[in-house]
């Protein structure tokens, strides 16, 4: 059942249970709300790459960093629609579009994004965008165009956030989420682990998500992909058991949300992914790339799904 009055102390009690007990509770919560054999598949496309004015320490798209990423203009609508069609043919039911902007600006670029949303929605796919900060009228325009999900990750805890980015603060993130929710959009909001944060930070992030009046319907769990030229690359730490505990705790405190294995999955073993699916992760990003980083190839996903006896969730399953 949905927990109430959730706080960091309540999350910690769950997170730090002996692992067999934590796993049992997560598996039960997952089975109560979802088909445990179905994995939702989403595809993420960068529709405007690089040149971002923000200084997020994990991101290769910041204009303040020297990385392998070179700025690219907003993609043509027909290319985006073609990519969405291909994703649908490969089994994706949600198509996510990301633009490296600090925030949305009214004008031709935003109008083009609205048309992308209309075209993707017309394909019968769920649509999601991540465009940075939103104004209320822009959120309403996206909703009217057919958008279903707005992605805006909190990334980490409030306390650790200044170690990640300095060009905006935590409350800015929360404000954008409130704007999207007020417009009738569903939320896609999660975080990144392995940035040098502590267990306390992971627990605080989970508590922040769970304490929302309406928690996010979709929660991406990213593992930091260390990218040369980004400040956090040298802080990268990855503990598979901490990832498993994070997934299991999210499943218990957010029983009706999709929990997605997102960035960093290409570096996860088949065994670790299988464990995460068992503990309640029920969504993945499919396709060879996620914005500017590599992703698990489609053929390896197909082999893994076959080995585990799980299947891609059909578009009509819960929507």
Q: Which residues are catalytically annotated? A: 52, 56, 59, 96, 128, 188, 260
Which of 78, 64, 75 lies closest to 97, judged by CA? 75
Residue with tokens 């649509």: 127
Helices 136-144 and 170-182 cross at an angle (nearest 10°) of 40
Q: Could you tell me how far CA 155 lies from the centroid of its own chain?
A: 10
The DSSP result for 259-288, as a single string, is EEE-TTGGGS-HHHHHHHHHTT--EEE-SS
Q: Where are the alpha helices (DSSP H) in 160-297?
A: 170-182, 199-210, 240-253, 270-278
Largest Cα–Cα separation, the chain: 54
CA dist., res. 133 & res. 62, Å (int): 16
Instruction: Tell me the C-alpha distance between 124 and 102, whole Å.
Output: 29
């Amino acid at each position: 059942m949905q927990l109430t009055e959730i706080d960091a102390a309540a999350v910690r009690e769950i997170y730090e249970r002996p692992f067999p007990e934590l796993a049992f509770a997560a598996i039960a919560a997952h089975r109560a709300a979802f088909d445990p054999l179905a994995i939702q598949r989403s595809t993420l496309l960068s529709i405007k790459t690089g040149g971002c004015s923000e200084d997020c320490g994990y991101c290769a798209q910041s204009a303040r960093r020297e990385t392998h990423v070179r700025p690219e203009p907003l993609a043509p609508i027909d290319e985006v629609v073609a990519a969405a069609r291909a994703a649908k043919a490969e089994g994706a039911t949600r198509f996510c579009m990301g633009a490296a902007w600090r925030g949305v600006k009214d004008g031709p670029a935003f109008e083009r994004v609205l048309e992308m949303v209309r075209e993707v929605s017309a394909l019968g796919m769920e649509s999601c965008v991540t465009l940075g900060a939103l104004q209320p009228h822009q959120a309403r325009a996206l909703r009217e165009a057919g958008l279903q999900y707005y992605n805006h990750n909190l990334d980490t805890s409030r306390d650790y956030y200044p170690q990640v980015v300095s060009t905006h603060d935590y409350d800015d993130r929360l404000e954008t989420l409130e704007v999207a929710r007020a417009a009738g959009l569903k939320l896609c909001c999660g975080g990144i682990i392995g940035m040098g944060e502590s267990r306390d930070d992971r627990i605080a992030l989970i508590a922040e998500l769970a304490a929302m009046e309406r928690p996010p319907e979709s929660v991406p769990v990213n593992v930091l992909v260390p990218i040369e030229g980004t400040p956090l690359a040298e802080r990268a730490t990855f503990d598979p058991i901490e990832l498993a505990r994070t997934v299991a705790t999210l499943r218990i405190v957010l029983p009706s949300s999709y929990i997605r294995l997102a960035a960093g999955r290409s570096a996860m073993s088949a065994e670790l992914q299988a464990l995460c699916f068992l503990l309640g992760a029920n969504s993945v990003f499919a396709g060879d790339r996620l914005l500017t980083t590599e992703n698990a190839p489609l053929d390896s996903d197909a082999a893994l799904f076959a080995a585990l006896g799980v299947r891609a969730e059909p578009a009509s399953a819960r929507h």
